[in-house]
Amino acid sequence: MVQTERLVQTFCRMVSFDSPSYGEREICDFLTEHLTALGLRVQEDDAAQRIHGTAGNLYAYLPATQGMEQLPPLLFSGHMDTVEPSKGKKAIVHADGTITSDGSTVLGADDCAALAAILEALTVMQENHLPHRAIEILFSAAEETYCIGASVFDFSKIRAKEAYVLDLTGAVGGAAVQAPTLLSFRIAVQGKASHAGFHPEQGIHAICVAASAARRLQNGWLDENTTRNIGTIHGGTQTNIVPERCVVTGEIRSFDHEQAMRTWEETKHVFEEEARSLGADVEAEHTVHIHAYKTPEQHLVVQRFQRVCAKHGIPSNLCSTMGGSDNNPLSEHGLTGIVLATAMNNCHSCSEYSHVDELKKIAAITVDLMCSEE
């Protein structure tokens, strides 16, 4: 029932839009037009004003067909933005079915593959008069920047308790049932400036303080659940001045939210301890961007997906991911969901690619999930 040519054309059309985070206006208008034409009730929220972007989050609702009203609604979600470099993206469909950019930009399969699959699934249902439960759609803005669009969405609009987020790399059939808490931090060390040639002993070397603290902290995997990374360090003004200020930034990820917070406290404590020992001061701040979740493999949202994959002869593969997605804020607001692999590979790079066969698979899976009577 999936029409391959239409699906690929829709995908390529959306790839052609410049839709960086906070700049999704054009693709948002395209999606609004298509969803409305398919009979969904579409609302764009005020996220554009709240996050200083050009487009808000799109929410759409499709009532159940007769006889399916008793089934609880399902939410399907994807995001409208792409990472850079994205200006002037163009999808090139190769003879073997592989779809790439021209190599100067990302392709944008992350997450145009999801948007195309969901639009195709809705179209297939409508033109074939397939019975279906109530369907909710959430297309978010600025997902690539720590899910900032979804973080300001009014979740009281959502009626569903289960969600499928189409936003995972790898072969279709994969699904992430676990993702981490992710927090970023900024630590500023305040030392004391002094002439490095005449009176270096009168200065307090802020970079040395920061380096000493960083040296004490393990980076990379701390245990099977947690990673820490000091990503940037900036300090000093001139080669002949003892640097009085140094700013360090980094991130912590953990499948255990409390462990993530303990790791942050340890990080801050080590910097404060090193600063005190050398007479410096520290300003430390952190932001929790997303919270960890784990969806039980026995949950219907997982079992339904596995049965649909089996129907299509597609092996299902449940996994954990250290990346975040809109399923994190959905989970935080009471929905149980999983993140589906969605015909995207080598994401966040100019070697990103998709494949026609994979696009067809995820569209077909989406149709059956929407029409499931489970």
For the purposes of burial, counting CB atoms within 10 Å of the CB of 177, is it exposed (0-12), middle (13-18) or buried (19 or more)?
Answer: buried
How far apart, in whole angstroms, are the C-alpha atoms of residue 7 and residue 2? 8
Is there a cis peptide before residue 111, judged by omega within 30 degrees of 0? yes
Amino acid making up residue 182: L
Beta strands in the chain (DSSP E): 41-44, 58-62, 74-79, 92-93, 98-100, 135-140, 162-168, 174-179, 181-190, 220-221, 226-235, 245-254, 281-290, 293-294, 317-320, 336-341, 353-355
What is the rounded (10 degree) CA torsion for 163, 251, 140, 69? 10
- Parallel, antiparallel, or unpaired: how do β-strands 98-100 and 92-93 relate? antiparallel
What is the rounded (10 degree) CA torsion for 65, 312, 8, 348? 110
Token pair, residue 42, equals: 């579409």
Exactly one of 111, 143, 274, 358 is catalytic; which is it?
143
Cα 285 → chain centroid: 23
Q: Is 143 a catalytic residue?
A: yes
Exactly one of 24, 44, 81, 251 is catalytic; which is it?
81
Active-site positions read 81, 143
